[in-house]
């Protein structure tokens, strides 16, 4: 080990309670000195919460120095999902990441990926732990995990996300712990870390039947012999900025609330509590949740990946009785609200490993209502969530597939246009498919809601165009559909292959999908 351990460095004994770990206290620069070129490094962090604060700046510095000395240093970087933008961009700027998995949402990293300078593997978030255990990403050399504290008996109190931390701590050869004093110690008990997963053929049923069920333990475990450094930090999580819902988001939210009302009337959802809701990250999802605050529904629950600002409000009002997630995606104000009222939220929020928050078994059993954003849908209900123009990655599929495929109702929400009306989010054929026609049940834009359940492709097309497309694009879409359907041997899913991607080709050529 080459790093300079500094025994007795400043550390709060309430944060590092076990003397063994106090002896490992060092600074981040020393801790990252052990990272070698080609290492696979798995770090904590899911959305804006729980990213190690000192690691990325220290590693980026080290990469610069190694390069200045004529050396090379880059790593394969595994995370929970996206991590704090600052960390992502620092490492991308120095070309420090050779391979990135499973999700990112930061412009510098995105640019490197789209330039072919960073390999990106875009897999379902519920698959990550399994695939790493399976060995698809080789050996994990170093795990870097932020925690709130290390207890008297060497257990770890997680910080503001769980993500894949359980797995990282188990599979890594060496572990660096960042102990962040900003995280309130009262967060202890908000987490439920399930240690019952296994690789097949040794898997057993996961005995959870509701979003509030606790099936695990409040602490993460780590083999002390693997811990090579304990790095004290004191820095708040970065924020997930939210905007006040605009008219479009509010219209979308209105359609969703009306749909829920209809489902209750039809007896498909219980009037009291509906079914556990999942909402992707973003302003539209945030607006939908906010819309529920004024709705008629009570005793709601949430089984999702992240807790957003509007969820805190729903919990505070008592509309939501329990929210299960793997992380927080809060604004500055939301973070302050959470920290200031941690006792309230600890009671009504459970943070779980993403293996469990997104688990096919649980998502199917609980009957999740999935609400995710999209870039675009085609007239037959195939959804593109990831690739602008079919080629340039935006963020990644994240957990949307986990909830869509295995949930009870799968909804995709989007404004009907983008770029000032030049881009339609309803197109003849999407140039990249993340969610197939077999999985997409409901599409919602500000214009309306298309309920595709039980409809053949030709009928879906009429409903999607008439209910969801912006009126400016409807004539073009109708014209395409009419001509495709009128062709001899038109098929179950009529298309004109020569024109199927014409909206996207026109956009690239003229800056607009309109003719």
- For the segment 371-390, give every residue that binds its own copies (CB under 8 A): 382, 387-390
Is 305 among the catalytic positions? yes
The interface with its own copies within residues 270-329 (CB under 8 A) comprises 270, 273, 275-276
Stretch that binds its own copies, among 12-20, 316-324, 331-339, 392-400 (CB under 8 A): 392-400
Tell me the two tokens of residue 236: 């708040």
**Those residues with Cβ within 8 angstroms of residue 480's Cβ, 6 or more apart along the chain or in another chain:** 379, 428, 496, 499
Q: Which is closer to its own copies, CB of 167 or CB of 180?
A: 167
The helices-and-strands tally (H runs, E runs) of the chain is 18, 25
CB of 433 to its own copies, least distance (A): 4
Show the site string, 108-147: x = touches its own copies by CB under 8 A, - = not.
-----xxxx--xxxxxx-----xx--xxxxx---------
Distance CA 87, CA 77 (A): 11
Distance CA 364, CA 129 (A): 19
Tell me which residue of 333, 350, 374, 137 sits closest to 241, measured CA to CA. 333
CB of 438 to its own copies, least distance (A): 5
The interface with its own copies within residues 430-469 (CB under 8 A) comprises 431-439, 453-459
Exactly one of 397, 442, 468, 476 binds its own copies (CB under 8 A); that residue is 397
Q: Which is closer to its own copies, CB of 22 or CB of 268?
A: 268
CB of 506 to its own copies, least distance (A): 10
CB of 129 to its own copies, least distance (A): 12
For the chain, helix, strand, coil in percent to 5 are 35, 20, 45
Map residue 75 onto helix, strand or coil: strand
Q: What is the dihedral of CA 76, 80, 81, 86, to 10 degrees?
A: -70
Per the CB < 8 A criterion, the answer to whether 501 and 429 are in contact is yes
Stretch that binds its own copies, among 7-15, 46-54, 246-254, 426-434 (CB under 8 A): 426-434
Residue 59 to residues 11, 33, 87, 141, 156, Cα–Cα distance (Å): 22, 8, 10, 15, 24
Sign of CA dihedral 143, 325, 242, 316: negative
Q: State phi, psi for 38 to the nearest 5 degrees.
A: 90, -5
Distance CA 488, CA 102 (A): 44
CB of 477 to its own copies, least distance (A): 17
The interface with its own copies within residues 344-373 (CB under 8 A) comprises 359-361, 363-367
Exactly one of 52, 80, 163, 401 binds its own copies (CB under 8 A); that residue is 401
The site for its own copies, by CB under 8 A, has a size of: 90
The interface with its own copies within residues 466-495 (CB under 8 A) comprises 484-485, 489-495
Q: What is the dihedral of CA 431, 121, 164, 225, to 10 degrees?
A: 180
184 binds its own copies (CB under 8 A): no
200 binds its own copies (CB under 8 A): yes
Tell me which residue of 85, 33, 38, 92 sits closest to 59, measured CA to CA. 33
Q: Which is closer to its own copies, CB of 28 or CB of 171?
A: 171
210 binds its own copies (CB under 8 A): yes
Q: Which is closer to its own copies, CB of 429 or CB of 450?
A: 429
Tell me which residue of 284, 258, 240 sits closest to 416, measured CA to CA. 284
Per the CB < 8 A criterion, the answer to whether 242 and 309 are in contact is yes
508 binds its own copies (CB under 8 A): yes
Q: Which is closer to its own copies, CB of 124 or CB of 348?
A: 124
Task: For the chain, state the CA radius of gyration.
Answer: 24
Tell me the two tokens of residue 475: 């004539």
Q: Which is closer to its own copies, CB of 131 or CB of 181?
A: 131
CB of 55 to its own copies, least distance (A): 23
Of 170, 263, 305, 446, the catalytic one is 305
Q: Which is closer to its own copies, CB of 345 or CB of 408?
A: 408
512 binds its own copies (CB under 8 A): no
Per the CB < 8 A criterion, the answer to whether 275 and 299 are in contact is no
Angle (deg, nearest 10), helices 457-468 and 474-486: 170
Show the site string, 46-85: x = touches its own copies by CB under 8 A, - = not.
----------------------------------------
Q: Which is closer to its own copies, CB of 286 or CB of 404?
A: 404
CB of 373 to its own copies, least distance (A): 17
> Please, is 365 exposed, middle or buried when counting C-beta atoms within 10 Å of its C-beta (0-12, 13-18, 19+)?
middle
The interface with its own copies within residues 148-177 (CB under 8 A) comprises none
> Please, is 10 exposed, middle or buried when counting C-beta atoms within 10 Å of its C-beta (0-12, 13-18, 19+)?
exposed
CB of 412 to its own copies, least distance (A): 15
Q: Which is closer to its own copies, CB of 101 or CB of 444?
A: 101
Q: Which is closer to its own copies, CB of 330 or CB of 409?
A: 409
Write out the H or E segment, with its range, that includes residue 331: none
Stretch that binds its own copies, among 179-187, 202-210, 253-261, 442-450 (CB under 8 A): 202-210
CB of 481 to its own copies, least distance (A): 12
Distance CA 49, CA 314 (A): 20
Angle (deg, nearest 10), helices 283-293 and 247-265: 60
Catalytic amino acids?
Answer: 305
């Amino acid at each position: 080990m080459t790093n300079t351990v500094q025994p007795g460095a400043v550390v709060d004994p309430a944060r590092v309670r076990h003397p063994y770990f106090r002896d490992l206290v060092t600074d981040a620069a020393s801790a990252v000195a052990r990272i070698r070129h080609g290492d696979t490094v798995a770090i904590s962090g899911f959305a804006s919460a729980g990213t190690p604060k000192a690691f990325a700046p220290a590693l980026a510095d080290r990469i610069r120095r190694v390069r200045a000395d004529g050396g090379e240093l880059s790593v394969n970087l595994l995370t929970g999902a996206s991590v704090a933008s600052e960390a992502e961009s620092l490492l991308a700027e120095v070309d420090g990441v050779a391979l990135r998995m499973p999700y990112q949402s930061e412009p510098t990293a995105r640019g490197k990926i789209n330039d072919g300078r960073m390999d990106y593997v875009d897999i379902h978030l519920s698959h990550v732990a399994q695939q790493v255990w399976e060995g698809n990403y080789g050996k994990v050399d170093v795990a870097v995990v932020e925690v709130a504290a290390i207890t008297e008996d060497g257990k770890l109190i997680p910080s503001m996300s769980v993500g894949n931390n359980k797995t990282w701590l188990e599979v890594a050869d060496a572990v660096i712990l960042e102990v962040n004093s900003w995280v309130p110690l009262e967060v202890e008990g908000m987490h439920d870390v399930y240690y019952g997963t296994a690789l097949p053929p040794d898997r057993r049923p996961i005995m959870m039947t509701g979003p509030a069920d606790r099936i695990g333990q409040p602490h993460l475990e780590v083999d002390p012999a693997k811990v090579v450094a304990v790095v004290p930090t004191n820095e708040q999580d970065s924020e997930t900025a939210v905007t006040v819902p605009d008219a479009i988001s509010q219209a979308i939210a209105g359609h969703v609330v009306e749909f829920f009302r209809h489902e209750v009337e039809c007896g498909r959802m219980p009037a009291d509590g509906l079914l556990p809701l999942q909402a992707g990250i973003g302003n539209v999802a945030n607006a939908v949740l906010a819309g529920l605050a004024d709705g008629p529904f009570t005793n709601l629950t949430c089984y999702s990946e992240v807790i957003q600002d509007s969820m805190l409000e729903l919990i505070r009002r008592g509309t939501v009785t329990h929210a299960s997630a793997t992380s927080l995606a809060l604004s500055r104000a939301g973070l302050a609200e959470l920290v200031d009222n941690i006792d309230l939220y600890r009671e009504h929020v459970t943070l779980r490993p993403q293996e469990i928050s997104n688990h096919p078994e649980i998502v199917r059993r609980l009957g999740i209502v999935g609400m995710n954003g999209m870039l675009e849908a085609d007239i037959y209900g195939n959804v593109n969530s990831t690739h602008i123009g079919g080629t340039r990655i935006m963020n990644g599929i994240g957990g949307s597939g986990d909830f869509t495929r295995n949930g009870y109702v799968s909804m995709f929400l989007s404004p009907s246009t983008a770029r000032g009306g030049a881009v339609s989010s309803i197109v003849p054929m999407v140039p990249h498919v993340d969610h197939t026609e077999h999985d997409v049940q409901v599409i919602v834009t500000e214009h309306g809601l298309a309920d595709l359940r039980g409809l053949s492709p030709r009928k879906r097309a009429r409903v999607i165009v008439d209910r969801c497309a912006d009126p400016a694009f409807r004539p073009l879409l109708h014209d395409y559909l009419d001509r495709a359907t009128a062709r001899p041997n038109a098929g179950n899913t009529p298309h004109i292959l020569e024109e199927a991607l014409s909206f996207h080709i026109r956009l690239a050529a003229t800056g607009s999908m309109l003719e």
